[in-house]
Homo-oligomer: A and B are copies of this chain.
Amino acid sequence: MTELLLNHLGGRWVAGQGAGSPLFDPVLGDELVRVDATGLDLRAGFAFARDTGGAALRSLTYRQRAALLAAAVKVLQAHRADYEAIATANSGTVKSDSSVDIDGGIYTLSTYARMGEGLGDHRHLADGDAVRLAKDALFQGRHVLVPSRGLALFINAFNFPSWGLWEKAAPALLSGVPVVVKPATATAWLTQRMVRDVVDAGVLPPGALSVVCGSGAGLMDALEPFDVVSFTGSADTAALIRSHAAVTQRSVRVNIEADSVNGALLLPGEAPGGEAFDLLAREVAREMTQKSGQKCTAIRRVFVPEACYASAAEAIGARLARTPVGNPRNETVRMGALVSRAQLDSVRQGLARLKQQAETLHDGATHALVDADPARACCVGPTLLGTRSADGSDASGLVHDVEVFGPVATLVPYRDAAHAMALVARGQGSLVASVFGSDPRALADASIELAALHGRVHVVSPDVAAMHTGHGNVMPQSVHGGPGRAGGGEELGGLRALNFYHRRAAVQASTAVLDHLGRAGDRT
């Protein structure tokens, strides 16, 4: 029997009472560890988090909590080699992809440690200036943000076991709100290990950080009115969470980051072989293959002028053809595995659905796996599809609806700018769009139009070719989330992320009272 990972709840390490669910190596097929949450006293554990962890965190100032984050960063950096080994084994990712998750998480945590220090020794935040409420200037109103008096439950996705934890935990802990994380089972190991290291190092107050591995049953039932829940994953599970009585009846605040069908857009007038064209081809190939396309932000639809369709297919396909796929332990491999057999099946099914509509421009099946047994390894080569008829409402609209969560994208030609925007809008709201071009004004105009449908617009022009941060890379300074199908949530965005973990209130009073509220930290 493999090791049964412990849960951390109620300030102690506790084993589930069941047999446990196994986690596997998606390349070799070996069982690695087991997780189980059967029989945990979730209500008592959550109460401990709120009453002990929350009270301890709220007694600190923002600057002191920022110091806790900085201490956690040091702990994580000291154990980085362990995390890379776990990622290789459990996520099947090549080193650079493991780094996106591990170092991305640590970078985000350190960014909030730095920003938090700037908030100073205060326990609430100012929100705007005081405004006069009466003719006499003595009676005024101002707004404050105070930490929520509940816990933050994170129900996370399998693709970012490190970053997915820390990008949420950093603003929560900085806000004084204790965290309970429920990682996706397939890759729960890395999350559990990071929590274990930080908890065991004693850098956080007891109850500030808990982890429950395995089934999520009962977690939502244990939430109370001042708790918040942040979910990353499928639209179906998102709907279940939103429908739960904790949300509908107890007003538990929800943040959802669901799947989306993100697009990349080459502006009208850009020519095959031009700089913007080449930047698009490079970025699409990179986004399709990084983490085997298992990123919520990855490019799924590629919109190009009709005249560029064939050349774009060729340029992207040529880059994909040069991407060796297989065992991440082999140094020639640039794209590892999908995380599980379930995901492999899901990608194959999605691909089959899209092929009802689309032609195959580059076939992933042509990639021989390096150092991996095709019968065992959850590896697939990258596939570029294409369709000239993406306007219809039935099968021809599939490309806008079906997110294949793997190394798959579809090339879609458009007639003119209006047609391009109409096609993008068929995605019903996405996390991110990237736009490629060389005319600053045209790029700016497109950005504002895309902003209504996306949480982030990433603009690539030749002048920033060497420095832009990437379509799918989520910077802690920028908001992450998107409207409509993408779930309507909002994470990160610098100190904007703290809003979710605070309650805003207006205080209407004599200026003699308002003066005593103290100089609170300002978010701007």
> Is A235 on the interface with B (CB-CB < 8 A)?
yes
- Among A429, A490, A493, A509, find the residue whose CB has the most chain B CB atoms closer than 10 A: A509
Q: How far is the CA of A509 from the CA of B487 in the complex (A)?
A: 25
Q: Which residues of B contact A253 (CB under 8 A)?
A: 488
A44 to chain B, nearest CB (A): 18
A223 to chain B, nearest CB (A): 12
Q: How far is the CA of A440 from the CA of B248 in the complex (A)?
A: 39
Q: Which residues of B contact A485 (CB under 8 A)?
A: 225, 251
Q: How far is the CA of A25 from the CA of B256 in the complex (A)?
A: 46
Q: Which residues of B contact A509 (CB under 8 A)?
A: 443-444, 447, 457-459, 461, 464
Q: A128-B524, A248-B239, A487-B251 are in contact. Are A513 and B443 (CB under 8 A)?
A: yes
Q: How far is the CA of A469 from the CA of B144 in the complex (A)?
A: 19
- Among A486, A494, A496, A510, find the residue whose CB has the most chain B CB atoms closer than 10 A: A510
Task: State the copy count for this chain.
Answer: 2
Main secondary structure of the interface of A (DSSP, over half): mixed
Q: How far is the CA of A124 from the CA of B469 in the complex (A)?
A: 25
Question: Contacting A448 at CB < 8 Å: which of B444, B451, B464, B517?
Answer: B517
Question: Contacting A493 at CB < 8 Å: which of B133, B243, B494, B506?
Answer: B506
Q: Would A467 and B134 count as touching, CB distance under 8 A?
A: yes
Q: How far is the CA of A512 from the CA of B447 in the complex (A)?
A: 13
Q: Which residues of B contact A148 (CB under 8 A)?
A: 452, 483
Q: Would B513 and A447 count as touching, CB distance under 8 A?
A: yes
Q: A141-B477, A444-B517, A513-B447 are in contact. Are A467 and B136 (CB under 8 A)?
A: yes
> Is A107 on the interface with B (CB-CB < 8 A)?
no
Q: How far is the CA of A147 from the CA of B248 in the complex (A)?
A: 27
A46 to chain B, nearest CB (A): 16
Q: How far is the CA of A463 from the CA of B511 in the complex (A)?
A: 10
Question: Contacting A505 at CB < 8 Å: which of B147, B249, B457, B510?
Answer: B457
Q: Would B507 and A451 count as touching, CB distance under 8 A?
A: yes
Q: How far is the CA of A440 from the CA of B513 in the complex (A)?
A: 5
Q: A478-B141, A504-B479 are in contact. Are A484 and B251 (CB under 8 A)?
A: yes
B-contacting residues, A104-129, CB 8 Å? 123-124, 128
> Is A508 on the interface with B (CB-CB < 8 A)?
yes
Q: Which residues of B contact A451 (CB under 8 A)?
A: 124, 144, 146, 503, 505, 507
A66 to chain B, nearest CB (A): 18
A302 to chain B, nearest CB (A): 19
> Is A419 on the interface with B (CB-CB < 8 A)?
no
Contact with B along A240-271 (1 / 0, CB 8 A): 00110101111101001010000000000000
Q: Which residues of B contact A248 (CB under 8 A)?
A: 238-239, 242-243
Q: Would B506 and A456 count as touching, CB distance under 8 A?
A: yes
Q: Would B459 and A507 count as touching, CB distance under 8 A?
A: yes
> Is A515 on the interface with B (CB-CB < 8 A)?
yes
Q: Which residues of B contact A490 (CB under 8 A)?
A: 504
> Is A143 on the interface with B (CB-CB < 8 A)?
yes
Question: Contacting A512 at CB < 8 Å: which of B440, B479, B484?
Answer: B440
Q: Which residues of B contact A322 (CB under 8 A)?
A: none
Q: How far is the CA of A210 from the CA of B510 in the complex (A)?
A: 41
Q: Which residues of B contact A479 (CB under 8 A)?
A: 143, 504-506
A423 to chain B, nearest CB (A): 16
Q: Would A464 and B510 count as touching, CB distance under 8 A?
A: yes
Q: Would B256 and A235 count as touching, CB distance under 8 A?
A: no
Q: A149-B452, A447-B507 are in contact. Are A251 and B139 (CB under 8 A)?
A: no
Q: Which residues of B contact A452 (CB under 8 A)?
A: 146-149, 226, 503, 505
Q: How far is the CA of A225 from the CA of B452 in the complex (A)?
A: 12
Q: How far is the CA of A38 from the CA of B139 in the complex (A)?
A: 49
- Among A147, A239, A487, A506, find the residue whose CB has the most chain B CB atoms closer than 10 A: A506
Q: Which residues of B contact A458 (CB under 8 A)?
A: 508-509
A291 to chain B, nearest CB (A): 20
Q: How far is the CA of A479 from the CA of B504 in the complex (A)?
A: 8
Q: Which residues of B contact A123 (CB under 8 A)?
A: 448
A144 to chain B, nearest CB (A): 6
Q: How far is the CA of A25 from the CA of B419 in the complex (A)?
A: 55
Q: Would B467 and A135 count as touching, CB distance under 8 A?
A: yes
Q: Which residues of B contact A239 (CB under 8 A)?
A: 245, 248-249
Contact with B along A33-74 (1 / 0, CB 8 A): 000000000000000000000000000000000000000000
> Is A305 on the interface with B (CB-CB < 8 A)?
no
A238 to chain B, nearest CB (A): 8
> Is A183 on the interface with B (CB-CB < 8 A)?
no
Q: Would B440 and A141 count as touching, CB distance under 8 A?
A: no
Q: What are 10 A-B pairs with beta-carbon distances under 8 A?
A: A128-B496, A133-B477, A134-B468, A149-B452, A225-B428, A250-B484, A444-B518, A447-B513, A457-B507, A490-B504
Closest A-B pairs by Cβ, 4 of them:
A459-B509, A225-B484, A444-B516, A478-B506
